[in-house]
Amino acid sequence: MFADLHLHTSFSDGTFSPEEVVVHAQRYGFSALSLTDHDTVEGCERMSRACVAAGIEFLVGSELTAEMSGHELHLLAYGLDLTNPRLLAELAKFQEVRQQRIREMVICLNKLGIPLPVEAVFALANCRAPGRPHVARALVQAGLCPTLDLAFERFLKKGKPAWVPKFKMSAVEAIALIHETGGLAVLAHPGLNRTDEFIPELNAGGLDGIECFHAKHSTAMAEHYLMIADQYSLLVTGGSDCHGLNKGKPLIGTIKLPYEHVAALKARLAENQAKAASRHLQPAIPS
């Protein structure tokens, strides 16, 4: 039995619907999946329904944009309470900033003489958590740039003329938010962000796990992060980070996380829930 705990849909910058992701997952025989769209949980309900119909276990998730000492890092949040008002309010804030950032990126492009209408980006994105890949796709679709990669190279990569910084919550605050809303916080693709130096501080801030297996991690990287997970007693997770057809071939199927890691994650979630319930039942200390 195996799982993919890092997937994107068209509720953020993936190209598949939740139902399409599940169809792909069924072909590979996955037992469990999580949906981790950027700064949103909107696709989770549909994905959950599609998983139930396919006999696949579903774990609620999201990928939050965070920062530590000015460096961007991504935190995967698993097992969140989708009805928590604080969670929904914080995500709405992330989404508003993402939409504003799209407007600013398009203004930069227009100033460069590239006549991309902002409506074209919003129409293509058709979601509340739009990002740079939508701008890139809109540029290609409008014939203003030949490929997605070139759109990033010419305009959208950090330091390029239409790059606009993104709002990021401090990683320690994000971990606290994830915990407050019933979830577990996992450091996403540490091999891509080169965030090793932050692991001790993240661990002290309550980090629960580390994504050791990722489509862009080499075997050596996976082994390196398995050692770190062991050193700090962190949960081990993994996923493909599939964005559908955004990057050519769908990555789903490239990572098959052994189910024992999902079982460990669920056990930790159940433990936390039991602790929260017992705290709730504690009689108030008489003054």
- Applying CB under 5 A, the residues found at the interface with Fe ion are 13, 74, 188
Q: Are 175 and 205 in contact (CB under 8 A)?
A: yes
The C-alpha torsion from 135 through 189 and 186 to 54, rounded to 10°, is 70
Q: Which does 261 bind (CB under 5 to 8 A by kind): Fe ion, ligand AMP, Zn ion, none?
A: none
Q: Which of 38, 189, 214, 261 binds ligand AMP (CB under 6 A)?
A: 38
Shortest Cβ distance from residue 122 to ligand AMP (Å)?
Answer: 14
CA dist 124 → 109, 147, 198 (Å):
17, 16, 36
211 binds Zn ion (CB under 5 A): no
Separation CA 137–CA 126 (nearest Å): 13
Separation CA 166–CA 159 (nearest Å): 13
84-123 mask for ligand AMP (x: CB under 6 A)?
----------------------------------------
Q: Are 60 and 79 in contact (CB under 8 A)?
A: yes
* Neighbour count for residue 7 (Cβ, 10 Å): 30
The C-alpha torsion from 216 through 218 and 223 to 227, rounded to 10°, is -50
61 binds ligand AMP (CB under 6 A): no
39 binds Zn ion (CB under 5 A): no
Q: Which is closer to ligand AMP, CB of 38 or CB of 179?
A: 38
148 binds ligand AMP (CB under 6 A): yes
Q: Which of 58, 78, 152, 155 binds ligand AMP (CB under 6 A)?
A: 152
Q: Which of 18, 133, 183, 205 binds ligand AMP (CB under 6 A)?
A: 133
42 binds Zn ion (CB under 5 A): no
- Indicate left, alpha or beta for 229 from its phi (over 0: left) and psi (-120 to 50: alpha): alpha
Q: Which of 6, 128, 214, 243 binds ligand AMP (CB under 6 A)?
A: 243
Shortest Cβ distance from residue 44 to ligand AMP (Å)?
Answer: 18
Shortest Cβ distance from residue 125 to ligand AMP (Å)?
Answer: 10
Q: Which is closer to ligand AMP, CB of 14 or CB of 183?
A: 14
Helix axes 118-125, 132-141, angle to 10 degrees: 110
Q: Which residue is nearest to Zn ion (CB)?
A: 241
Q: Which is closer to ligand AMP, CB of 45 or CB of 149?
A: 149
131 binds ligand AMP (CB under 6 A): yes
Q: Are 265 and 237 in contact (CB under 8 A)?
A: yes
241 binds Zn ion (CB under 5 A): yes
- Choices 144-152, 197-205, 222-230, 279-287 (CB under 6 A): range interacting with ligand AMP: 144-152
Binding site for Zn ion (CB under 5 A): 63, 241
